[in-house]
Chains A and B, each alone.
Chain A
Amino acid sequence: MAAVDSVLIVGAGHAAGEMAIALRMNGYAGAITLVGEEAHAPYQRPPLSKAFLAGEMPRERLHVKSLATYQNANIEFIPGVRVTSIDRIARTVTLADSRTLGYGKLVLATGGRPRQLSLPDPRINRAPNLHYLRTIDHAEGMRDQFRAGNKLVIIGGGYIGLEVAAVARKKAIDVTLIEALPRVLQRVTAPEVSAFYTQVHEAAGVRIRVNTALTGFEFDAAGSVTAVLAGDGVVIPADVVIVGIGLIPNTELAAEAGLLIDDGIAVDEYGQTSDPDILAIGDCTSHESVYAGRRLRLESVPSALEQARSAAALLVGVRKPYHAVPWFWSDQYDLKLQMVGLNRGYDTAVLRGAPANRNFLAFYLKDGVLLAVDSVSRPQEFMVAKKLVAERLRVDPARLADESRPLKELLPPAPPAS
């Protein structure tokens, strides 16, 4: 591949930052520019619903890498401006401030945005106490209302909703969580795991209402939400509302440029889009997964980083395909939930250990093959589970459940030392 004189990265999240630094670490000597819509250099999003929201982590600690790192690596960072269009023929992008920037290779790392409520009431978007949570600005914007004694209503029983509930209870905030589906974490875990997390949150004082659809809000004269209306005429008083109902990938810029979109921006295992001069990485993409045997769009920090590393390698002529098994984590209270693989289509779920002990694993199998594992506060066995899922282990579920026999013994023998 001929040397590329410049790489322009659109976005400044996890994937973008890793891409820029990985390029330099791989010896890329051309110009690297990051253009971020937010005012901030790449930062850790996971703590936004955990330690940062709790006020236990200063903003500087959120940075993935210090600002000096980018300066020292001669990476130009343009914050606070949106890229509005791509001209694939001229190989330029236009920014919201009308500037035009050229590129040798373009990398789209546009991430995603919170799924918005679909209720038609225009007051919703103006309410100063109704929040989504994806950015530092979102988290800082709700901090003042996130205080002891306030009534918080959380809409959505996914990871964000549950993590926020855990932090709120630690701060003695009154919490009600509503979920439209029959159980929390329904899309990602087995009923036993959902039941466990429901019990943990209820024991901590969270009121959880499942099978409860949001129907509307009540507002005061100033436009603040005063109550959440749900299900069969239930009125839940609220001082603050946090909505966590999923992520929408930011694919519009790519779509308007005519790139192939398939849920996310369609890329191969190197991050290559349908235009040879444009790559895409992170939450905005969908990729053909060897592990899953189908196209996946993930919302995952480890995947964003690995995709960035594959794309950065490609731009210096090294083929290092992204084939990693997806994994995720969610810290709630004192519990460490770590998940590897995707359980879609599983026919058998088996537990190892008892949820009552607050540490256990759930294994998901399909046709006798291990698809995915959830680990609650068993990091040691999670590390083994990651390898077992990557191996697509064929195993008797009873063996997985048998705590008298170490999980490690299921690992294939290590290759002989060279």
Chain B
Amino acid sequence: MPKVTYIEQSGRRYEVEMPGGTTAMQGAVDNMVPGIAGDCGGCCNCATCHTYVDPEWMARTGPANDAERQMLDGVPDVRPGSRLSCQINVTEELDGLTLHIPASQY
């Protein structure tokens, strides 16, 4: 099972294993990782699952899709690695992915 590391702004880390194909949002929610809400359930309507992809992983996760990019425009503190984690499918190729959790989703 691929593993994702979520890192809070404080530096606290959450290492989570999830079945391949799970979204990074669902993996966080299923493991009570704080700071990633996913209120709309992953249909790209709420932008409460914002994360920063670690620079080392940005090439492999790829850029945000169209709908996602538009939603991201309205979240607090957008940065180059910003992605909505509901739009990141955690496949085996993303085993080891590191995501940083923003200070706030709202």
Contacts and interface: CB of A to CB of B under 8 A. Distances in A.
Interface in A293-341: 301-302, 305, 329, 331, 336, 338
Given A65-B30, A69-B32, A73-B32, A380 B40 contact: no
B32 A21 contact: yes
Give the secondary structure class of B's interface: loop
A66 interface: yes
Contacts of A387: 74
B31 A69 contact: yes
A66 B71 CA distance: 26
Contacts of B29: 64-65, 69
A336 B32 contact: no
B73 interface: yes
B93 interface: no
B37 to A, nearest CB: 8
B73 A301 contact: no
A383 B69 CA distance: 12
A418 B24 CA distance: 30
B58 interface: no
B43 A25 contact: no
B39 A380 contact: no
A305 B39 contact: yes
A64 B25 CA distance: 11
Contact of A46 (B30, B32, B41, B75): B41
B67 interface: yes
Contacts of A301: 39-41
B70 interface: yes
Contacts, number: 61
B30 A69 contact: yes
Interface residues of A, number: 28
A137 to B, nearest CB: 19
B46 interface: yes
Contacts of A28: none
Give the secondary structure class of A's interface: helix
A382 interface: yes
Given A64-B29, A65-B29, A336-B67, A380 B74 contact: yes
A379 interface: yes
A336 B45 contact: yes
Contact of A302 (B44, B46, B74): B46
Contact of B41 (A44, A66, A380): A44
A219 B44 CA distance: 42
A379 B32 contact: no
Nearest to B73: A380
A329 B30 contact: no
A301 B44 CA distance: 14
Interface string B4-46: 0000000000000000000000000111101001011101111
B81 to A, nearest CB: 19
Contact of B39 (A65, A302, A378): A302
Contacts of B73: 380, 383
A21 B31 CA distance: 10
Interface of A: 21, 24-25, 44, 46-47, 64-66, 68-69, 72-73, 301-302, 305, 329, 331, 336, 338, 378-380, 382-384, 386-387
24 contacts: A24-B32, A46-B40, A46-B41, A47-B41, A47-B43, A65-B30, A68-B30, A69-B30, A69-B31, A69-B32, A72-B32, A301-B40, A305-B39, A329-B45, A329-B46, A338-B45, A379-B44, A379-B71, A379-B74, A380-B73, A383-B70, A383-B75, A386-B74, A387-B74
Q: Which 8 A-B pairs have the closest CB atoms?
A: A383-B74, A380-B70, A379-B70, A44-B41, A329-B45, A66-B30, A380-B73, A379-B71
Given A25-B34, A382-B74, 14 more contacts: A21-B32, A24-B32, A44-B41, A46-B43, A47-B41, A65-B29, A69-B32, A72-B31, A301-B40, A305-B39, A331-B43, A336-B45, A379-B44, A383-B75
